[in-house]
């Protein structure tokens, strides 16, 4: 099956000045840092050898970088390449996974291609390998316990360090969340019926397949799956992810930022201080990005009357 992108997608005659050298050649490190639109344009150049030596590997990496940041055309192109076996082993399941993400954003061609490639018995997560900026050295994630751990806490820490990489999560973030939520008490129960280590309410537990929220392994799996979902939804923004975990993702979308609840803001501040980073490395794109329609609110402009101590629990 040969598939074609609808005409007029590529604008190959233009060179983004910030991504070109003196002779029009692309600066790879600058491309790695570019906007999704520019990354997608250059991915198409590499895919088709337009003005550069054809390089499917570079094309796939740039499409991946843009697709993980929610660029619909890049998501479609990854699906197209997998569906055609173009520069990669043909994989209809992986193609469908990328078409599904683009289709969820309203892309009509992706919706049509999803009908052709989707097999409900072979559903997989959309995955790809992003380019690496060798000059960027992010500060290491950290989490420092307040004192010597009790034996039960030590077991939980070991579980987290073993399980977190399966979800693409840094253990330091998960540990900071657990400390804030339950202080490592697997039997914790809040007045709002949040349960276990990561304080899952029944709706969240059911959403992520947790049958026994007081079982440490099940609770960790559910909580980590939710954290990964939120990080994908808020594109690695730790503050918005934590706010969503505490107050619900819908509340964050409604305000366009950390909502003006005193408890939520204190919660976000506590965990970001413990974790030490405001951006988490990319996780699997398990959901399209959040539809944030306004810039983050300026906390200084929020009326004091809104800074109340109550908020909706996730």
User: Which residues are catalytic, by number?
Assistant: 181
Q: How many angstroms separate the CA atoms of 97 and 76, rounded? A: 10
Helix axes 36-48, 72-84, angle to 10 degrees: 30
User: How far is 120 from 186, CA to CA, in rounded Å?
Assistant: 36
Three-state DSSP state, 195: strand
Distance between CA atoms of residues 113 and 79, nearest Å: 9
Instruction: Write down the H helix ranges in 144-215.
Output: 151-163, 171-181, 202-207
Beta-carbon count within 10 A of 238 CB: 23
Spatial separation of the C-alpha atoms in residues 167 and 230, rounded to whole Å: 12
Residue 264 CA to residue 269 CA, distance in Å, equals: 9
Pair 238, 173: CB distance under 8 Å: yes
Degrees, nearest 5: CA angle 33-36-40: 105
Q: Which residue has the tokens 């604008």?
A: 11
Which two three-digit tokens encode residue 10? Answer: 């590529």
Helix (H) or strand (E) holding 73: helix 72-84
Concatenate the DSSP letters of all residues of 53-66 into one string: ---HHHHHHHHHHH
> Helix 108-117 and helix 92-104: axis angle, to 10°?
150
């Amino acid at each position: 099956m040969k598939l074609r992108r609808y005409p007029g997608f590529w604008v190959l005659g233009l060179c983004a000045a910030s991504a070109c050298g003196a002779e029009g050649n692309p600066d790879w490190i600058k491309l790695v840092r570019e906007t999704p639109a520019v990354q997608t344009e250059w991915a198409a150049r590499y895919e088709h050898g337009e003005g550069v030596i054809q390089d499917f590997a570079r094309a796939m990496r740039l499409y991946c970088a843009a697709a993980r940041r929610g660029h619909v055309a890049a998501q479609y192109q990854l699906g197209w390449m997998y569906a055609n076996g173009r520069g990669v082993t043909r994989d209809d399941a992986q193609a469908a996974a990328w078409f599904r993400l683009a289709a969820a954003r309203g892309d009509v061609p992706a919706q049509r291609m999803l009908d052709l490639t989707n097999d409900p018995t072979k559903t997989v997560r959309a995955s790809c390998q992003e380019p690496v900026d060798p000059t960027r050295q992010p500060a290491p994630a950290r989490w420092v316990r307040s004192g010597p751990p009790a034996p039960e806490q030590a077991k939980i820490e070991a579980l987290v360090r073993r399980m977190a990489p399966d979800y693409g999560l840094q253990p330091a973030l998960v540990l900071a969340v657990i400390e804030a939520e339950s202080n490592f008490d697997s039997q914790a129960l809040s007045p709002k019926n949040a349960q276990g280590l990561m304080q899952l309410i029944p709706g969240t537990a059911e959403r992520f397949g947790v049958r026994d929220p007081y079982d440490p392994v099940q609770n960790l799996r559910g909580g980590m799956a939710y954290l990964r979902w939120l990080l994908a939804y808020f594109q690695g923004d730790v503050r918005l992810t934590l706010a969503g975990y505490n107050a619900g993702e819908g509340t964050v979308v409604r305000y366009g930022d950390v909502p003006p609840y005193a408890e939520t803001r204190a919660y976000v501040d506590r965990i970001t201080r413990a974790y030490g980073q405001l951006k988490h490395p990319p996780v699997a794109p398990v959901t399209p990005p959040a539809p944030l329609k306004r810039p983050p609110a300026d906390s200084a402009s929020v009326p004091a009357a809104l800074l109340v101590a109550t908020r909706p629990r996730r």
